Every structure is written in C-alpha cells, then in structure tokens.
Structure 1
Amino acid sequence: MWLRDNCQCSQCVNQDTKQRNVDTFQLKEEDLKVVDFKETEDKLHVNWSDGHESQHPLSYLYCWFKGAYAKEFGKDHVIRLWDSSIGTHPPSVPYNQFFVDHGWEAIGELTKNIRIHGFCFVTDAPVYPESTEDLLKRLGPIRNTHYGGFYDFTPDLAMADTAYTNLALPAHTDTTYFTEPAGLQAFHCLSHEPAPGEALEEGESLGGESLLVDGFKAAVTLRKENPWAFKTLAQVELPWHASGNVGISISPDKVYPVIEQEQGGHLKRIRWNNDDRGAVNPYEAKNWYAAARAWNEILRRKENEYWFKLEPGKIVIFNNWRVLHGRSAFKGIRRICGAYIPYDDFVSCYRVTNTPGGRVDGRSYNNRPRVIGDTRSKNYKDVTKAPEQEAPAIQES
C-alpha cells in the first residue's frame, strides 16, 4: 500500500504542483498485489494488480529505507555552535551579489549561513531603508505585527516597548508572546549621531553595541552542566504577553517552555525574554527560578557573548528561534530599520536555493538540521525521559 500510495509518476503526482493526484482511499489495500517489478538505472518500476505501473526514483526510496539521502542531504544541515570567537570571521555576503543573475547564489549563501550559524551579515549595503526592504523581500514576505511590517524607527517610544528606548537590552528573543514567534529578524543601523546640543567627552562613544548569543549552544551547555535545569526549562510552560500598548493584549492561547524540543530531544526553538514573561505557576516557581538562574548565567558568560557595532551599510539577519540578541545602552539618536520574516518562508527559501528541486520528495524530519558535537550526559534519557532515539550530533566552533 505504501509503494502504491507514494507512486511518483505523472498520473499520481502533478509534476507542476508536486501535489497528489491519486485518491488514497479509493485504493483497496486487500486487493493490491505486486504483479512484477524491475529496477532501472535510477528508478524502481512496479506493476500492480489494478493495472497501474508505479515509478519510484531510487533516491526517494533510499531516503526512506537506506538513509543515504539523509546522510547526503545532512551535509548542508549541520548546525555549528559558536561563541564569542566567531567575531574573528563572522559569516557575511556582499549586498551587490544579490543583484547578479537574479541573486540566487547569494540568497543561497545567506540562507545557508543562517541555517548553519544562525545569523549572517550583509555588507556594503546602500544606506536607505528601501534597499534594506528590497533585500529582505527576497527571503520571503515581511511579517506584519502590531509593530507594523517593515520598521524604521528611532528611540522615541512610539511603541510601548523597551526596544524603542536607548536603554540596554539583555540577550533575548523577540515575539515570545506569539504562538509562532518571528522566524528571521533583521537590523540595519541607518545612522547614529549625537543629539542636537549633545557633546561627547574625549574618548567617549555613543554606545549601542549589538549583542548576539547562540541560544542552541547555551541550551547544549545547560544540558551538559545541569540536566535537571534543562529538563525544567524544557517542561515547565509559561505565559508570555505583549500588553504595553493601548488596545493591544497579545498572549498565545497556549503556554510554552523556554526551551522547545522536537521528538527525540532535538532542539527546535528558544523562547526567552524575561521582560515579556508572565507569572510562573507558583507550584513550580521554586524549581523554575533555580533553573532559569542557571540558564541566565550561561547566557551572560563573556565567552558566549558576541559583541559588535552595527554601522550604516552593515545588515545583520538572524534566526530568532535560535539566536538571542541585545544591545548596550546608547546616547544620541539612532535610526534602525528592519523586519521579521516567517520561519516557514525562510526554510522554503533555503531549500529552493540550496537543494535540487527543493528536495520536496524526502522525509520532512530528515530536513531537521544536525547539530554536531551535542554530546549528552550518559543519564540524559533518564533525566529528560527522551525517546530512545539519539539526537543529532553538534559541532562546536
């Protein structure tokens, strides 16, 4: 039944839309029998008792039954964890490459870097919001939120959010209060100048350095050093909210943990912004506060903090499900533009530009990134009650 239902021939799959043509429930499993089969150079042909001939690309079958596809495709799916040392050679792509031969190669390089490292710079960009917006639209539709779509702002508290101030912001992820937080986030500093009449002392800077922290590395570190704290942050679910603006009260219908995992203990998403966190269940508070304190200490370790200066012409784009961001306090008037891109659109853009045909024929869970070097404590399964499936390995930078 599985072979018949997943036939890839033009009668069963629309070759233009890649959607099924066959009605699965018109197939009578008890009557289906294999009459004959043969293997050619790249396909398996199966003749069925209902008169149909199935055609299965061998690469498709290997994907499911041999794992060869997973190994080959996984080369582009390695996640590399990093620390502050990534600042010596951060991933980057020049802006002008996005407008050479439709820019597919540059888009592929950008999305691949984000997939692997969680972030990428775009350098030598025109210092105009329109140019930044044009680039981001190459990655997918800009996500509209209560902040609008493409944003262009100064610290004027136009929205009731600390991002619209000149205060320091600790490492956090954005939109924790959405059921599905923003996928990608981008920042481009268009200008940063002293306010009118503001004078700087000799050697004094305006401040406003930007911060990135690899949330997956922090989670792996926590899992190694304190499995109990990791389990707590992965299991205790919290309310998150955005309620500062008049007429706006956003909070998911569900509650979510700080560390979200998929089946088998694979890291999926970090949801962390203490400013937007609701109250912890008082019956779980003691354990959660202790675990969160251990998590916060790892996030604030100097070796995990990558600090840099956002300058005009330098755009940073990062995976908001993985990489936390922050900033130091600043003086003067700083103008920032950027946007959110939905995660599904980012992944689609990555697959289209990095894999033949987008690899829509494979197992979806084979498209999960492999994290190289994620060596867990021998008691990990006992501690977290994870299924008996080893998680991907993780590679330390």
Structure 2
Amino acid sequence: MRLFPSPIFRHVARGMTGPAQRSFVTSTRRFQVQDANMSDLLAAAHRLEGAKKAHPTAEHMPLSEVDANTSSPGTTDLMNGARITMRDRHLWLSVPDMDMKELKLSYVYLRDLCKCPRCVDPNSKQRTFRSSDIPLNIQPQHVRWDNEYLEIEWNKDTEGTEGTHFSRWHYTYLVNPSINTHDSTLKSMPPLLWNLARMEKAQHWIDYEDYMTDRNQFIIAMRSLQRTGLIFVKGIPDSREMVEKIATRMGPLRNTFYGMTWDVRKVPQAKNVAYTNQFLGFHMDLMYMNEPPGYQLLHCLENSCQGGESLFADAFYAANQMKAQRREQYDFLTKVHLAYEYVHKDQIYYNTRPVFELDERTGELGHVNYSPPFQAAIPEPKRLDDIESKLDDLDSELFNPDSELLNPDPKLNYIDFVHLQQSLQIFTNHLESPGNVFELKLNPGECVIFDNRRIVHARRQFNTATGSRWLAGAYVDTDAVRSRFHICTKQEPQIWRHFNPDAYLVPFDLDNPRSSDRAIKAAYRMGHEMTNRGAGKYVKYEPEQIAGKRGKSRNTRRKIARKD
C-alpha cells in the first residue's frame, strides 16, 4: 500500500487551481454527481483534499486518504488514531476515539450497503441494483476516512455502471446498518415490567385533544405505551367513530372478520363470550390467527350497569417471576405448544404457539400467547413413528417414575401433560395474583390502549338490567405501532429517552383539599401531567425536575417519595 500523494496525483493536482475547483472538495454531495466527466474531476479534487492534509516531508504522518493497493496489503494510520488494514477481499477499520469495535468489512458487503442516489432512488427509497449484480472480485480504488465517514471509490463496479462511483457511510451506520423495529435489546426501548403497585403510580392518562394534536404529548404517550404496554385516553367526544381516529393516529387499522372496528356489547346468541354479560377471564385476542393483532383499543361509550370492571395484568412480569422462581416450568412453556381455534359456520381458524415465545436472536421473551377461552385440544406429536403399535405399553409406562413420558427431553417430541398442567397453573397463579392485577371501570369518553402480545385483559360480570355497557374496539398491527415508536424516537429523541421508571411521586390526599392543592400546583409548576384521570393519588415527575424545586418548597420536599 502506498500513501498519497503519488507522482501522477501531483500532476493532476497542479492542474486544479483556483476557488472553483476547491469548491468541489468542500461539497458533501460530490458522490451524487452522475456525469462521468464531472465525476472524474470530482475524484481528482477529492484526492487533492487528502493530499493537502499530508505533510510533504513527514512520510509517516496520519492521513485521511489511502490508495487501495490490495496486491500489497498492509495497515495505514489515519487521523485521530484510526487505522485501516487492507486485504484482498476485505478491510479492517479501527477507530479507538469513538469506542467503536474493530470492524471487518468485506468489499462485497460494503458495496451492497451503498445508499448513494445511483444505488437507491431518492424518492422511492428502493434499490436500483441486486446483490447478485456485485462482482465477487470488486475492489476499492481509493479509501477515505474523515473521522466520521468512511468513503470508497470503487475500481471494479457492477456491470453497466459508468463513471466514478463513490460509496459513503457514517461509522454508526457501519456498526448497525439495520433499523430493526422488533429489536427488544435497544437501550432506548426496554420494557418496564409492572405489578399493581407500580401501575397505580405509573399509569399514563392523556387527553384526547393532546393525543391528536400535541406531538410532544403524543410521543410521551407512545413512550409509555412502549414501556408499560398500557395507556389510557380521556376526554374523548361521544362518537362511535372516535376509536378509529385514535387507532389510526398510531397506524392503519387491522381488518379481521370482526370488521375494521367492532362493538363489545351484550347480544343474543353471541358467537364470542365477549358479547355476553358473563365474567371473561384473562386472555389475549385472536391467538388462533397466524399473526395476532399487536395492539388493541377499547373505547367506552356506555358503562352505566353494575359490574363490568376491566382487569389488566402484565404477562411479561408474571413470566419473569416464574423464570426467577420456577425456571424448569418456565423453560417448559417456552417449548411446548398450545393450540387455539375459532370454529363457526362461516369462519374456521386454528394455530399453535408456545406460551412463552422467545426472540430467536437474543433468547429473551418476545411474546406471551395465552387465551384459555379459545384453547383447542392440546397437540400431542407422535413420539415414535410406530407409536400405534406400542399402545399396549403406554399404560404400564405411565406408572414408571423413570418413564420418558414423565421426563421430557429438550426436543419435546411428546407432551408430559402432568408437567404442562403444573406449569400452566403456576403461570396462571402469577397472573391472577391480587398484587399483579390492575382493575378499573372505564367511564364513557375513556379509551384503553394495550399491547395484545404482552398484556392480558379480563372483564367482570355485569348486569344489564340496571344499565348498559358498550365499548367500541379496534386493532393495530405490531409492525405499524413499532414503526410509530421509531418515528417518535427520531422526531424527539430527548423526550423519548427521558422516560425514567424510577420517577419520583408527590402523593396527596383527595380528602384534604389543601394537600391536594399544594401537590397539584407543584406538579403544574414542573410542567408534568397528573395520573389517575387527572384526579388520582399521585402526581408524577422526574428526578431532575425535583432537583430544581427542592429549595423552593419545604412542604413539597417532604412529600417526595421514591417510586417502588
């Protein structure tokens, strides 16, 4: 590998003088030039900039640009401690000052990452080439590093490519080139597991007008929905169409055989237990579909009857408790599948899935699948191809404590029903523990939004003889809502990252107007909303907000209590 400037390059550089030529050097859009002649001029100017940064008498002084001579591979020191090592099919990039791990990047891979206007249409954002078009022997002609961006001028490019072709990437893109909206390991997106005590303090209520028109308040609401899986909207106009407006603020409606939106009210000869006045236990919706809806909305239009309270529990919290206390049973529910079905005259749906569905990449909990009202016959895969010929041995095997039927192997080619029953019972006990269940009765003009792949919901029995109960519902797919989450992080990254599960709370007594008034005024001075429909037990604000107020109000300071 040789360092700039070369004799040929110095000859080109001497012919490029004057401010007009140097203006190309400062342009960050030079790689977008399509004309071949202009691209050649651009390439020469680009090299001139690299040569100007090299001291003519200090041969080993760090440079920002190198010739890519892969026939003589070696390492070149660049600016600020960066190093590039060239090989015949890849390069190594090391940038110590940015705490970036050393990256091994093949030339084919780098060429495939190109996002220049020649490779990705600026309007449609779609690629104009195929991965299979890239020559396996593609090589860089020149490589440049400017302390943030890696730029390559290609020597052998895809067939049909004319003129000089530059590819340019920021180092953060090279480290993480994909925006994976399903990545649960992102530091800015960790779920906040909750029980009753935490949800009573952390519940998020947002006014309908703020939800629809105030971008920052909407982002705060989405942040809470992503963290806890459960938020509430209040002050909604009395209209059946409002649930669609609230839902489409997050993303497109999910259509099912129930319709784009649907009603939850008592009907005769109901095809779903939700359309009765009976008690409805904890469950998740549409587990029998190949892709269950990700988020559910229930907008209360009427709820004047006795009963009908809504119950919610964090299945992730219950699963986490089970994992810590009964790891064997937890692992069992990650492997064994349950079946769910919906069988009626005009619709037949069926699917199987594990109770705890893990992320294949991280091994962490990705979804919980739990819906006893729609559970079908437990699938029992055949343990042996000729199991039918061994049925006579089955009864005696059940009484053998060393039998494989009572000691399932990791592949789970069969199901131990005793183990399954015990594991499900443990999980159910955690879900239904009074300390884990958040209960409230929705009032007209209020809407709950929750994660259907994490939060289980239930409903108490109600008596329509003393009133009526009517909720309007809708679904939005996981992809749409997670897309909205990531848009919110880009629009207001500071607001999104500001969420703190260890927020401080100002408790106040509703029966003591003076105490309530002081707490409300303190919260309003800090610019933070109240919880519990605007008249609950706590006013919440963040620790940094407290820090600026502690010297101003001794009474308020005494009321501060750290969240459990």
TM-score scaled by length of structure 1: 0.80
Contact 1:11 1:22 (C-alpha < 8 Å) held by counterparts: no
In the TM superposition, residue 131 of structure 1 has moved relative to its aligned partner by: 2.1
* In 1, Cα distance between equivalents of 2:323 and 2:121: 45
State the one-letter code of the partner of 1:350. F
Match of 1:314 in 2: 446
- Say which SS state the counterpart of residue 217 (structure 1) adopts: helix
Q: Which runs of 4+ in 1 moved over 6 A?
A: none
Moved more, 125-134 or 266-275: 125-134
State the one-letter code of the partner of 1:251. Y
Match of 2:186 in 1: 74
Going from structure 1 to structure 2, the CA distance change for 1:3 and 1:356 (only over 3 Å counts) comes to farther
In the TM superposition, residue 87 of structure 1 has moved relative to its aligned partner by: 1.6
Matching residue within 352, 357, 360 for 1:260:
357
Match of 2:225 in 1: 114
Unaligned runs of 5+ in 2: 1-107, 157-163, 381-413, 494-500, 502-562
Going from structure 1 to structure 2, the CA distance change for 1:357 and 1:309 (only over 3 Å counts) comes to closer
Contact 2:303 2:442 (C-alpha < 8 Å) held by counterparts: no
Match of 2:476 in 1: 341
1:5 lines up with 2:103 in the alignment: no
Going from structure 1 to structure 2, the CA distance change for 1:139 and 1:126 (only over 3 Å counts) comes to same
- Say which SS state the counterpart of residue 240 (structure 1) adopts: strand
1:247 lines up with 2:374 in the alignment: no
Moved more, 46-55 or 316-325: 46-55
* In 2, Cα distance between equivalents of 1:44 and 1:320: 43
Unaligned runs of 5+ in 1: 66-70, 195-205, 359-371, 373-395
Match of 1:185 in 2: 296
Match of 1:269 in 2: 367
In the TM superposition, residue 79 of structure 1 has moved relative to its aligned partner by: 0.8
Contact 2:212 2:249 (C-alpha < 8 Å) held by counterparts: no
Match of 2:151 in 1: 45
Matching residue within 213, 233, 236 for 1:125:
236
Contact 1:113 1:119 (C-alpha < 8 Å) held by counterparts: yes
- CA deviation digits over 1:334-374, x for unaligned, max 9? 0111211111111112222222599xxxxxxxxxxxxx9xx
1:24 lines up with 2:131 in the alignment: yes
- CA deviation digits over 1:183-218, x for unaligned, max 9? 110111111234xxxxxxxxxxx1111111111111
1:169 lines up with 2:280 in the alignment: yes
Going from structure 1 to structure 2, the CA distance change for 1:10 and 1:158 (only over 3 Å counts) comes to farther
In the TM superposition, residue 122 of structure 1 has moved relative to its aligned partner by: 0.9
- Say which SS state the counterpart of residue 353 (structure 2) adopts: coil
Match of 1:137 in 2: 248
Match of 1:212 in 2: 312
1:33 lines up with 2:139 in the alignment: yes
In the TM superposition, residue 35 of structure 1 has moved relative to its aligned partner by: 2.3
Moved more, 51-60 or 306-315: 51-60
Contact 1:114 1:318 (C-alpha < 8 Å) held by counterparts: yes
In the TM superposition, residue 64 of structure 1 has moved relative to its aligned partner by: 5.6
Contact 1:270 1:322 (C-alpha < 8 Å) held by counterparts: yes
* In 2, Cα distance between equivalents of 1:26 and 1:226: 52
1:352 lines up with 2:487 in the alignment: yes
- Say which SS state the counterpart of residue 224 (structure 1) adopts: helix
* In 2, Cα distance between equivalents of 1:295 and 1:61: 42
* In 2, Cα distance between equivalents of 1:129 and 1:180: 27
Contact 1:95 1:125 (C-alpha < 8 Å) held by counterparts: yes
Match of 2:548 in 1: none
Contact 1:168 1:327 (C-alpha < 8 Å) held by counterparts: yes
Aligned length: 339
In the TM superposition, residue 157 of structure 1 has moved relative to its aligned partner by: 4.3
Going from structure 1 to structure 2, the CA distance change for 1:92 and 1:14 (only over 3 Å counts) comes to farther
Match of 1:148 in 2: 259
- CA deviation digits over 1:56-85, x for unaligned, max 9? 1222123269xxxxx9x9343021100101
Going from structure 1 to structure 2, the CA distance change for 1:48 and 1:158 (only over 3 Å counts) comes to farther
In the TM superposition, residue 286 of structure 1 has moved relative to its aligned partner by: 2.0
- Say which SS state the counterpart of residue 20 (structure 1) adopts: coil
* In 1, Cα distance between equivalents of 2:264 and 2:370: 23
Backbone CA RMSD of aligned residues:
2.5
Going from structure 1 to structure 2, the CA distance change for 1:325 and 1:190 (only over 3 Å counts) comes to same
* In 1, Cα distance between equivalents of 2:379 and 2:132: 46
Match of 1:95 in 2: 208
Match of 1:392 in 2: none
Contact 1:230 1:291 (C-alpha < 8 Å) held by counterparts: yes
- CA deviation digits over 1:207-256, x for unaligned, max 9? 1111111111111111111111111111111221012x33221113xx21
Matching residue within 332, 352, 358 for 1:232:
332
In the TM superposition, residue 134 of structure 1 has moved relative to its aligned partner by: 1.4
- Say which SS state the counterpart of residue 463 (structure 2) adopts: coil
In the TM superposition, residue 152 of structure 1 has moved relative to its aligned partner by: 2.4
Contact 1:76 1:112 (C-alpha < 8 Å) held by counterparts: no
- Say which SS state the counterpart of residue 79 (structure 1) adopts: coil
- Say which SS state the counterpart of residue 307 (structure 2) adopts: coil
Structure 1 vs Structure 2: percent identity of aligned residues?
Answer: 26
Moved more, 103-112 or 263-272: 103-112
- Say which SS state the counterpart of residue 286 (structure 1) adopts: helix
* In 2, Cα distance between equivalents of 1:169 and 1:309: 15
Match of 2:52 in 1: none
TM-score scaled by length of structure 2: 0.57
